[in-house]
């Protein structure tokens, strides 16, 4: 170990290598609720792709497992290291290298946060539209989990907005994939293979992302409905309308109550409606033209009215912003409310009503409960799971995930499998597919040093 | 061989297995100009994924190379078989299995043509927006090459519109990837890995594609400019305008002349302007609302005017349709004009002027010429190459591709590498990356039966 320490220190400099007591608790976990923290043996903070390559070569030789880390805001413990492991923290590789206005791309290092990128893009009238609800998340982290968020309904997820990478293979080679172009057809798409691979195939050291024109005018509409089924029935109709909302969220009444309480929201919903409504739809529209925005809000209001909304509230700026922020923080509300786990499941959007009914039924049978909200336009359901007994909870989640897959969905739409959901994946997924993933993994990482335990359990 | 014939016939039925003289010339080639035709030993026409799996198992055992075939409209010879090979033709697997309106997806077999899918989607008010210029192309073929086309500037390429697959591995397992959801984060994205793999990793037997609302109103604008540099400078400004054209093409004057001549177009461009203009910009807008469309056309016209267009023509329906069709057939115009090769190269869109200048310079130095048109919004240049001597042409193309890569682009944006461009790819690409692709290939296809010679030469 002393030998490895010296080697790693020689690569990044002594000041940028932590061991033992110098490693703070922060490096022991991400925000997953169901994975116990674990401090690694080493934390290295490289400053370049070349240093990352040297670190990986040294780890390979010494068989030290490696976990990449951004800001640790993940929800599946993909950034939770192993006891004998090395954390490669990208905190020093945090530069926005270029905002390329002509090609609408940004070139950034993995340690750049979404907040920093947003600030830089905004100055050029552009936006990077991946908003997974945590602006302290790093680009590298979002690449690892293929982060989504509320605006995915219009702009897609990380996968749809990453055009290219510089990445270091666990064998130490530095490669470039994709580029500043939106199309390429020369061999297998390594960019897309690395996006969502949760640090198990290669480590991104530079990311080329697509930027979009920043539309200056927006409006936020909140519509309470009698029940969740009604909300779900409305969603495909709004998608089909062509209004192209950038936010299309459902929030059940328990979650709304927690949000209102925790964030002290003033939404102007009278008590009579609040008591009656079991579920809300939150829709946000944006436009470069205020006139068109106004017309679209009108059209949307008419549509919601027609489809059974109890009322349609066009929220003014301040309360709209607060509500969207509260929705982004729904995870923290759930945590504060004592949720035992928070998972995100994806199903075809038309299957959301049956899925949610079944999830509630399974939770009830397990002596627990599920409440939630989610990216309704994408069929992406976020469930706060209340079920104290770990075994009962595992059974409950197995049932919930199995049903989602039966409906043509998946265990996770955007949080990833990490350490916490790998066991469900291995149990429920077609073994031929898992074997294929393992062979791909071996092709990248023959020594198996990158994030062992993640994805494959 | 008799043994293999009997085995294959037992799988698909005698009527669906062709050998020897029964194999027509059609199966010997696609539309690539620089690959000599080659008849295979066998053509099998399976009716199901199970039959495809049995065919692949038999081919594996007998070491027979396998080439998948849709309608053979590819431009890189990825569908050109080997002499001792088996062509798996998907002509009998040609059903649109479902148009799922609620989820905006279609589930289709690989032999469905784009024209058929378009007809079925249109009946539901939806569209599959991948228009690679050849509506007889099959979905399976477009998945293989990651086909793009004119509308990619708004809707993305095949990759961005394929949500899931049923695919048969060369080892005979039938797997499902992705689904009817627009996001998923559970392990490596096999859908995206198979899309664009040109039949070398797995064969798609079912494809789930994203459908979009079909916007009923459209307008087409043609703007001649003094020279190509001016056109190129205008492109990023139109992209930034937020007008979101679904077609944004440049056409140089030689290509326009060939199109006008071959397709007998009447565009109403007076001789004086025709003689002066070296390049044209073609822009199409669409909207669900005629009023907004009219406003947008006005805005676009003003912008083009301001940016130096010699004139702005809003084409009426018939001539607009004919011009777009002629642009789609530009490959055939180039072929008719005696082009020795037609390639598509992609560069960051801001680099198009320098790239085109260099391509012309290299062609001139090689005693030849290049003309073309392309998807300007995507930086995707289609070059008709006139250079009779094969060696000089290879050198010219090597230079052109190398320069594109130097600019951050790639050898192909949408036609793929196939057999015809594999040699350039192997010469110009980072060997570490090619090695990685080979390891991925081995993970899927340990016996190496799927399309040997394609991608890897």
Q: Which of B299, B331, B363 is the last residue of a domain?
A: B331
Q: Which of B213, B244, B276 is the last residue of a domain?
A: B213
* Mean pLDDT value of segment B295-307: 97
Element (H, E) at B49: helix B49-62
Residue with tokens 């409960």: A369
Are B349 and A197 a contacting pair at CB < 8 A?
no
**B35, B121: one domain:** no
Q: Which of A48, A72, A89 is the last residue of a domain?
A: A89
| Chain A contact set for B185 (CB, 8 A) | 145-146, 148, 157, 196, 410, 412-417
Q: Which of B213, B349, B439 lies closest to A443 in CB terms? A: B439
* pLDDT given at position B318: 87
**A100, A126: one domain:** yes
Nearest to B106 by CA among B214, B207, B215: B207
**B20, B74: one domain:** yes
Q: B54 lies in a domain?
A: yes
* Mean pLDDT value of segment B194-223: 97
Are A409 and B179 a contacting pair at CB < 8 A?
yes
Task: For the sheet with A174-178, list strands across it.
Answer: A96-100, A105-108, A203-210, A162-168, A174-178
**A156, A243: one domain:** no
| Chain B contact set for A350 (CB, 8 A) | 100, 102-103
| Chain B contact set for A176 (CB, 8 A) | 430, 433
Query: B416 CA to chain A: closest CA distance, Å?
Result: 5
| Chain B contact set for A346 (CB, 8 A) | 181, 183-184
Are A378 and B181 a contacting pair at CB < 8 A?
yes
Quick one: closest CA in B to A145, which residue? B185
Quick one: closest CA in B to A420, which residue? B186
Using 70 as the pLDDT threshold, list the residues of chain A that sit under it: 1-2
Are A350 and B100 a contacting pair at CB < 8 A?
yes
Distance (Å, rounded) from C-alpha A44 to C-alpha A47?
Answer: 10
Which runs of E-coded beta strand occur in A117-211?
A: 126-127, 162-168, 174-178, 203-210
Nearest to A253 by CA among A219, A284, A222: A222
**B46, B101: one domain:** no
Please check whether residue A169 touches B, CB under 8 A. yes
Total domains in chain A come to 4
Distance (Å, rounded) from C-alpha A38 to C-alpha B229?
Answer: 58
Does residue B77 contact residue B35 with C-beta atoms inside 8 Å?
Answer: yes
Residue B331 binned pLDDT confidence (cut-offs 50, 70, 90): confident
* pLDDT given at position A119: 97
Q: Which of A173, A197, A408 lies closest to B179 in CB terms? A: A408
**A189, A109: one domain:** yes
Neighbours of B61 (CB within 10 A): 13
Distance (Å, rounded) from C-alpha A439 to C-alpha A447?
Answer: 12
**B345, B274: one domain:** no
To 10 degrees, the CA torsion angle through B3, B7, B13, B16?
Answer: -70
Domain with A114 in it: what CATH number? 3.30.465.10
Q: A437 lies in a domain?
A: no
Does residue A80 contact residue A419 with C-beta atoms inside 8 Å?
Answer: yes
Distance (Å, rounded) from C-alpha A267 to C-alpha A321?
Answer: 11
**B122, B64: one domain:** no
Query: B443 CA to chain A: closest CA distance, Å?
Result: 5
Q: What percent of chain B has pLDDT over 70?
A: 100
Whether the pLDDT of residue B1 is over 60: the answer is no
Does residue B126 contact residue B101 with C-beta atoms inside 8 Å?
Answer: yes
Quick one: closest CA in B to A406, which residue? B179
Domain with A60 in it: what CATH number? 3.30.43.10
Helix (H, G, I), strand (E, B) or coil at A251: strand
**A140, A54: one domain:** no
Please check whether residue A156 touches B, CB under 8 A. yes
**What are the backbone angles phi and psi of residue B280, rounded to the nearest 5°?**
-125, 150
Whether the pLDDT of residue B83 is over 90: the answer is yes
**B174, B202: one domain:** yes
More confident residue, B317 or A243: A243
Instruction: Note the pLDDT tens digit of each residue in B126-150.
Output: 999 999 989 999 999 999 999 999 9
* Rounded alpha-carbon distances, angstroms, from residue A257 to A264, A271, A283, A383: 10, 12, 18, 15
Are A183 and B409 a contacting pair at CB < 8 A?
no
**A209, A238: one domain:** no
Are B429 and A195 a contacting pair at CB < 8 A?
no
Kindly state the tokens that stand for B44: 């099998």
Q: B317 lies in a domain?
A: yes
- Residues sharing a CB contact under 8 Å with residue A162, sequence separation 6 or more, in sequence order: A143, A178, A191, A195, A207, A208, A209, A210
Distance (Å, rounded) from C-alpha A97 to C-alpha A108?
Answer: 5
* Mean pLDDT value of segment B102-112: 97
* pLDDT given at position A1: 53
Nearest to A244 by CA among B90, B292, B344: B292
**B326, B352: one domain:** no
Query: B14 CA to chain A: closest CA distance, Å?
Result: 31
Instruction: Note the pLDDT tens digit of each residue in B18-46.
Output: 999 999 999 999 999 989 999 999 999 99
Domain with A280 in it: what CATH number? 3.30.70.3450
Neighbours of A264 (CB within 10 A): 9
* pLDDT given at position A41: 98
Task: For the sheet with A17-19, list strands across it.
Answer: A17-19, A42-44, A86-89, A66-69
Q: B450 lies in a domain?
A: no
Neighbours of A149 (CB within 10 A): 25
Q: B223 lies in a domain?
A: yes
Does residue A293 contact residue A219 with C-beta atoms inside 8 Å?
Answer: yes
Domain with A362 in it: what CATH number? 3.30.70.2740
* pLDDT given at position B333: 85
Containing structural domain, residue B178? 96-213
């Amino acid at each position: 170990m002393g030998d490895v320490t010296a080697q790693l220190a020689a690569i990044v400099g002594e000041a940028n290598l932590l061991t033992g007591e110098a490693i703070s608790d922060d490096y022991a976990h991400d925000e997953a609720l169901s994975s116990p923290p674990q401090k690694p043996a080493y934390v290295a903070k490289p400053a370049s792709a070349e240093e990352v390559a040297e670190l990986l070569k040294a780890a390979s030789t010494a068989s030290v497992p490696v976990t990449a880390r951004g800001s640790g805001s993940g929800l599946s413990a993909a950034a939770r290291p192993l006891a004998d492991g090395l954390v490669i923290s990208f905190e020093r590789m945090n530069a926005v290298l270029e905002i390329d206005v002509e090609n609408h791309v940004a070139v950034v290092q993995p340690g750049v946060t979404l907040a920093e990128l947003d600030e830089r893009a905004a100055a050029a009238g552009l936006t990077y539209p991946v908003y997974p609800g945590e602006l302290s998340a790093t680009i590298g982290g979002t690449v690892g989990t293929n982060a989504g968020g509320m605006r995915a309904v219009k702009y897609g997820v990380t996968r749809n907005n990453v055009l290219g990478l510089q990445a270091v293979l666990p064998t130490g080679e530095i490669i470039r994939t994709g580029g500043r172009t939106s199309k390429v057809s020369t061999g297998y798409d390594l960019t897309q293979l690395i996006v969502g691979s949760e640090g198990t195939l290669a480590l991104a050291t530079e990311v080329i992302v697509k930027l979009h024109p920043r539309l200056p005018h927006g409006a936020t509409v909140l519509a309470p409905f009698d029940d969740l089924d009604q909300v779900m029935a409305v969603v495909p109709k709004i998608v089909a309308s062509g209004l192209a909302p950038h936010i299309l969220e459902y929030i059940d009444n328990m979650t709304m109550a927690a949000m209102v309480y925790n964030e002290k929201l003033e939404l102007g919903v009278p008590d009579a409606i609040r008591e009656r409504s079991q579920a809300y739809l939150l829709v946000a529209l944006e436009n470069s033209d205020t006139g068109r925005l106004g017309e679209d809000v009108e059209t949307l209001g008419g549509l919601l009215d027609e489809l059974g909304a109890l009322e349609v509230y066009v929220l003014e700026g301040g309360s709209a912003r607060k509500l969207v922020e509260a929705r982004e923080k729904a995870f923290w509300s759930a945590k504060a409310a004592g949720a035992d786990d928070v998972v995100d499941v994806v199903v075809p959007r038309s299957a959301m009503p049956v899925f949610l009914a079944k999830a509630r039924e399974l939770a009830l049978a397990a002596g627990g409960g599920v409440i939630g909200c989610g990216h309704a336009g994408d069929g992406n359901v976020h469930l706060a799971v209340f079920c104290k007994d770990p075994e009962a909870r595992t059974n409950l989640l197995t049932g919930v995930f199995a049903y989602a897959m039966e409906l043509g969905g998946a265990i996770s739409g955007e949080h990833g499998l990490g350490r916490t959901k790998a066991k469900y994946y291995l149990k429920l997924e077609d073994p031929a597919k898992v074997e294929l993933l393992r062979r791909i993994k071996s092709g990248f990482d023959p020594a198996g040093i990158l994030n062992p335990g993640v994805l494959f359990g």
